[in-house]
Amino acid sequence: MDTGWKCSRMQCPPWPKGKKLVHLDLKGAPPRTEYLHQLIELFSRLGVDGLLVEYEDMFPYQGELKLLQATAQTPYSREEILNMQELAKSKGMEVIPLVQTFGHLEFVLKHRPLWGLRELPHCVGTLNPHTEDGYRLVMEMLRQVVELHPGVNTLHIGADEVYMLGEGEQSKQWLVSPERTVQQLFLNHVTKVAQAVKEAWPHINIIMWDDMMRDMSQDTLKASGLVGLVQPMLWDYTPDLDVDRTVSLLEKYHSAGMSELWAASSFKGSTSVYTCVLLTQRHVDNHLQWLKVASSLSAGVKLRGIAITGWQRYDHLSVLCELIPVALPSLAACLETLVHGQFSSEAQSKATEKLGVSTVEVSALERQSPVNSLFPGRRLAEVIVELDVLLNLEDIRFFERNMYVRGWFSLYQRQRKLVHPLITMQIHSQASTFLSLLQQKTEAVRVEMLGLYPESTVQEWIEEHVSPVLFPLQQITDEIMTCMKEIVPQI
């Protein structure tokens, strides 16, 4: 089997004993329930131990929090969330809900009644840590989520990328005292939330993202009150992850008394904010670096597990990243890399076998008929790749820059109807051909996507990826016909 891949030659020990979680980011392109169940079945076959589920506005918040529910699509019902958990548990997978409690609260603070809870008026993601109303809001969100996850043992409270913290008026007043710092401001709020979680649910383990603690000293962490209360999850999604720096951070947390540590890698959603079709190699490289980290830690430092993240948006207000179907080969490859300690020929063979494909690079998938049941969403992945190829053809994407359009149908010429009919109609013919190709392939994507995602996701995806290429072609054909009617008889 020749896939064109260069398998990893340097082998690390397999990922140490610990959980392998897959992150489900539901704040964009939330899968229909039937497809979500198919994905859980696949995750089980791939060897996943648990799900890290980030609901955001797809959670059916009730009472005063009902305004947080999505309006573009229907949030998951209580029954759907319970059924999802039952299926996961029947497959031996733990479900860990992720609820943001400080930063990345865009889906909360965008609502007008809650504007006053922002750290800064123009920073829609960061909570003002000084208001009791903000604290009560966060705790009520946690209460409703925990209540709908009976038997939950672990909760992720987010707390990453708390932008502009310390810039609000109340924070500036608090920071007037010279002994107070922004680091303490962050730690005070997170500790308060974590302590309240422990008081309400003593059995629950608490995970949080680590990035806001990376520049803190051991002494600061020891004095924070978080030691023994939270389990830091260090995230790095880059293919050239700095192994020495990452090892140093993990060992700093451990030395500060935070002995329960997690890693977070990426199988999708970390290439760029608008990626449509990913490169599996990039994500495999990220996992190879994490394997080096795990094998380089001091003897006493252990990782409880790794969360393989699959971001669907960079934040609530950004565009969609690549959809799950195009990323499933990447996920399979990343998991096998962890199991084998390298992406060897054997690891590659296992990954392709489990999905029933010949390659783990989705861009190289061959159209298959009928589609096998091992790869849920394969047909959508195939047509997205085909459409992406068209969208990135220079002749189509930059049609208005070609010699004939710039030479015989410029803006100046259009406005004054100074056009050459013969050449202009040739331009029209070529633009119409491209339009037809795009429309046919877009319709194929739309039909397949509607079976897996809500209508709002289909509309957003097409408007973000297709419309910027299709509209200029449509516009130029319309303008040509308008010109022709004025300078050529019987058009």
Say what the pLDDT of residue 370 is.
Answer: 61
Across the chain, which distance is largest between two alpha carbons, in Å? 86
Say what the pLDDT of residue 491 is.
Answer: 65
**Sign of the CA dihedral running 281, 333, 241, 54:** positive
| CA-angle at 443, arms to 442 and 446, nearest 5° | 85
Q: Whole-angstrom Cα distance, residue 465 to residue 450?
A: 16
Instruction: Tell me whether residue 289 is exposed, middle or buried, using C-beta atoms within 10 angstroms of its C-beta: 0 to 12, 13 to 18, 19 or more.
Output: buried
- The domain boundary residue, chosen from 351, 368, 385: 368
Mapping DSSP onto H, E and C, the string for 441-491 reads HHHHHHHHHHCCCCHHHHHHHHHHHCHHHHHHHHHHHHHHHHHHHHHCCCC
* 312 domain residue, yes or no: yes
- The domain boundary residue, chosen from 323, 352, 368: 368
Alpha carbon distances (Å) from 169 to 87, 118, 122: 47, 11, 13
Tens-place pLDDT, residues 228-286: 999 999 999 999 999 999 999 999 999 999 999 999 999 999 999 999 999 999 999 99
Dig out the tokens for 143 from the structure.
């209460």
- Residue 43's domain is classified under what CATH number? 3.20.20.80
Q: Whole-angstrom Cα distance, residue 366 to residue 432?
A: 28
Say what the pLDDT of residue 365 is.
Answer: 82
Residue 23: partners with Cβ closer than 8 Å, 6 or more residues away: 51, 52, 53, 54, 98, 264, 307, 308, 309, 310, 311
Same domain, 28 and 154: yes
Query: In 10 A of CB 69, how many CB atoms?
Result: 17
Q: Are 139 and 196 in contact (CB under 8 A)?
A: yes
Q: Are 461 and 29 in contact (CB under 8 A)?
A: yes
Q: What is the dihedral of CA 32, 36, 37, 42, to 10 degrees?
A: 140
Same domain, 295 and 415: no
* 284 domain residue, yes or no: yes
Residue 2 has pLDDT above 50, yes or no: no
Backbone conformation region of residue 8, classed left if phi is above 0, alpha if psi is from -120 to 50, else beta:
beta
Say what the pLDDT of residue 373 is.
Answer: 72
Same domain, 363 and 398: no
Q: Are 297 and 237 in contact (CB under 8 A)?
A: no
Same domain, 104 and 54: yes
Q: What is the dihedral of CA 24, 29, 31, 32, to 10 degrees?
A: 150
For 304, the 3-state DSSP assignment is strand
* 2 domain residue, yes or no: no
Say what the pLDDT of residue 366 is.
Answer: 72
Same domain, 432 and 348: no
Average pLDDT over residues 413-432: 91
pLDDT > 90 fraction of the chain, expressed in percent and rounded: 87
Tens-place pLDDT, residues 167-182: 999 999 999 999 999 9
Cα 384 vs. chain centroid, distance in angstroms?
18
Average pLDDT over residues 417-432: 92
* 303 domain residue, yes or no: yes
**Sign of the CA dihedral running 246, 252, 253, 259:** positive
* 403 domain residue, yes or no: yes
Tens-place pLDDT, residues 52-95: 999 999 999 999 999 999 998 999 999 999 999 999 999 999 99
Residue 371: which pLDDT band, with cuts at 50, 70 and 90? Answer: low
Same domain, 459 and 328: no
Total domain count for the chain? 2
Same domain, 358 and 413: no
Same domain, 422 and 336: no
E strand map for 79-121: 94-98, 118-120
* 239 domain residue, yes or no: yes
Residue 391: partners with Cβ closer than 8 Å, 6 or more residues away: 276, 397, 438, 465, 466, 469
Residue 7 has pLDDT above 50, yes or no: no
- The domain boundary residue, chosen from 352, 368, 384: 368
Kindly give the pairing relationship between strand 123-127 and strand 118-120.
antiparallel
Same domain, 332 and 439: no
Percent of the chain as helix, strand, coil, to the nearest 5: 50, 10, 40
The active-site residue, picked from 41, 80, 140, 161, is: 161
- Its domain, for residue 480, covers 393-487
* 454 domain residue, yes or no: yes
Same domain, 286 and 363: yes
- For tokens 């319309």, the residue is 478
Same domain, 430 and 338: no
Residue 4 has pLDDT above 60, yes or no: no
Amino acid sitting at position 114 = L
- C-alpha gyration radius of the chain: 26
Beta bridge partners of 97: 53
* 448 domain residue, yes or no: yes
Q: Whole-angstrom Cα distance, residue 27 to residue 70?
A: 9
Catalytic residue status for 161: yes
Same domain, 349 and 409: no
Tens-place pLDDT, residues 140-169: 999 999 999 999 999 999 999 999 999 999
